[in-house]
Structure 1
Amino acid sequence: MDNSITVAQALRHARHDFLNELQLIQMKLDLGRGQDVKSIIRSRAEAAVQLNRLTALKMPATENWLLTAEWRFPEFRFHLECLAEAGMATKDAAFADWLEQFFTSLKKQADPASDTSCRTTLKEHQSAFEIGLELDGNLPDALELPEVPGLLIKKDIAADNTKIIVSAKMEG
């Protein structure tokens, strides 16, 4: 990844996001919307569980990419779901490289005014490790998919939804 983020930058972004969340909670409390506050807290707790699962995969390059994606690619709203119980350390750099190439390319092609969300799901499926991307929003018709040795790419395009699965066969 040539567009990495420093620890100081990551902490600055994290503090900013945390302050925004606190301000949102305070606003909801001031308006007497306790249920909304409980919903925010549940959402943050679930996000923490997903991040712990991601860390347990022992794929540091992919983890770093996913943890900093929303700061490095603010044009996209990322949501992470980690269903995998085992990672694939031998393909860690390849997955991170593919994600970097794909979103760098997509950023150049995408309409900056469009609201694009990306649900990212990591799982093991039929002796393969896969990262699934479900992109909602106005995406370019000729979506470029990078080729990275050792990874298989599958794409399914619908009217306003694009699904991409990046996978590699697990050893053993």
Structure 2
Amino acid sequence: MESENLTIGKALKFARHDFLNDLQLMLLYMDLGKIPEARRTLLEATERMRHISMLENLRLPKTEIWLTTFEWKHTVFTKKLQCNITAGKRITSDDAIVDYLERLICIIEEAVDPMDEYIVNVAVNATEDHWSIQMTIEGSLTELRTLPETDGEFDVSGVLQDKQWTFTLSGR
């Protein structure tokens, strides 16, 4: 799905779908008498929502939306999000971060095999005066290019090892 086609209505539809999937899985486990699995599924869903809601403290609303809707727009990836964020004033352009992340993911999508599974572990960390977004892509990547250039508002680094590419954006 192209990012410009993601309306509020479509985002809500995806969110409802994900939520109903979690509920149906819990119900299935309960119907099968597998209460520990139902409990685990409930706790995992609750933890995912806690991390998503913590993104608001990043104080970069467009970046928050991009990270939240990432796997709806880039369906080849499964996302796992981990946040440790303290609210603070950010001086980096929210638009610049989102533009960079989108360009980077489009480059990565050109290097994926649509028949393989790709997991993206996203770690968002922020203190009052510094933030970082680290994305680790697990899966076989071919013909991977170098990281795109930034406008200098934030730093970017990346490491490609075996079947894993980790890149980090950081700024103030």
Going from structure 1 to structure 2, the CA distance change for 1:132 and 1:35 (only over 3 Å counts) comes to same
Match of 1:3 in 2: 3
TM-score (norm 1): 0.88
Question: What SS does the aligned partner of 2:158 have?
Answer: strand
* Amino acid across the alignment from 1:8: G
Cα distance in structure 1, aligned partners of 2:18 and 2:131? 31
- Do the aligned residues in 1 keep the contact of 2:124 with 2:131 (CA within 8 Å)? yes
Deviation string for 1:88-147 (max 9, x for gaps)? 25332211111111112222221111111001111137x642110111111124234222
Going from structure 1 to structure 2, the CA distance change for 1:164 and 1:124 (only over 3 Å counts) comes to same
Match of 1:136 in 2: 138
Deviation at 1:166, TM superposition (A): 1.1
Structure 1 spans left out of the alignment, 5+ residues: none
Q: Does 1:28 align with 2:29?
A: yes
Question: What SS does the aligned partner of 2:144 have?
Answer: coil
Q: Does 1:61 align with 2:69?
A: no
Question: What SS does the aligned partner of 2:40 have?
Answer: helix
Cα distance in structure 1, aligned partners of 2:10 and 2:144? 33
Match of 2:95 in 1: 93
Deviation at 1:20, TM superposition (A): 1.5
Q: Which runs of 4+ in 1 moved over 4 A?
A: none
Structure 2 spans left out of the alignment, 5+ residues: none
* Identity, % of aligned positions: 28
- Do the aligned residues in 2 keep the contact of 1:28 with 1:37 (CA within 8 Å)? yes
Deviation at 1:36, TM superposition (A): 0.8
- Do the aligned residues in 2 keep the contact of 1:59 with 1:92 (CA within 8 Å)? yes
TM-score (norm 2): 0.88
**How do 1:46-125 and structure 2 match up within 5 A?**
46-86=47-87, 88=90, 90-124=92-126
The number of residue pairs the alignment matches comes to: 167
